[in-house]
Amino acid sequence: MRPLHLLHQMFLSSLSALVLLTASSARADLPHERFFLSREEISEEALRGVIGIAIIHTMTGPDYQPTASLPRFAPRGDDFVTETALPLKQLRAISGWDWDYFAFRKFPVIEKRGEYLHIVIDAHTNERAWVSLNTQAPQETGVQFVPLDSPEWEWNGIELYLLASQGQTRLYNAPRPEAISHPLSPLKPPRRNGALIGDLRIMKTRGKFMQIGELLSLDEPLAPVGWVPITDEQGRLLVWPVLAPMC
């Protein structure tokens, strides 16, 4: 068994556990999520009607690329049948990270039917495929589904500008479209009590809004900053939760 394999098996089933793991120490090799596509490379339709995010993990090979394949399914009446295999290194995830011998990739989820997820496997072309939460793949490969309104996102980071039109969103005083709001952008970043915020985290979701707060320390609750819309008026996703090591 490879070093840290048991540790991986302990946290792969829970995003919250991974966040807590990164809070355990200030190790230099902790994972850091990165984006693989720019906003211009992401299809508008790939962001429409998103209900959550699929996190697919697998081991990496000598080229540090994902090694495994996932079965691709097709709906047939009330059931699903296996079609082909999806080599993970050929998929175009929006974001992901690598840690130790593992690769993690994140994809928009459009629909869920029981154990099956309809995910955007190429955010550039909007190609989609059905995969199963019961992967039938090697032991080191798995699929996790996290709904956008899941409490598992709490204390995670958030990308506010990459998916938003012209890189700009709005910050609301309350989770209502008629609430007082003001624009947010890299040139007009969020502030609290007049000071720039160093570390934004997700607090909770209510309806079509996500509350964000400032991380002050690991010993204090997040300090509320405001609410950001999850989607625009056309139903396109505006925010993307990201892994944020707490060290």
Q: What are 85-135's pLDDT values in tens digits?
A: 999 989 999 999 988 788 999 999 999 999 999 999 999 999 999 999 986
Q: Domain boundary residue among 86, 120, 147?
A: 147
Q: Residue 68: what pLDDT?
A: 85
Tally the C-alpha atoms within 13 A of residue 225's C-alpha that lie toward its C-beta: 28
- Tell me the β-bridge partners of 73: 82, 130
Q: List the domain range (segments joined by +) for residue 114.
A: 5-147
* Structure token digits, residue 233: 């008026």
Low-confidence ranges of the chain (pLDDT < 70): 1-30, 135-139, 245-247
Contact predicate 65/105, CB 8 Å: no
Direct distance between the N- and C-terminal alpha carbons of the chain, in angstroms, rounded to an integer:
28
Q: In this predicted structure, what is the pLDDT of residue 29? A: 58
Contact between 238 and 169 (Cβ < 8 Å): yes
* 110 membership: H or E segment, kind and range: strand 102-113
Q: What is the pTM of this model?
A: 0.86
Domain end marker among 110, 125, 147: 147
Q: Which are the contacts of 30, defined by CB distance < 8 A and separation ≥ 6? A: 22, 99, 245, 247
Residue 195 lies in a domain: yes
**Token code pair at residue 82:** 């296996």
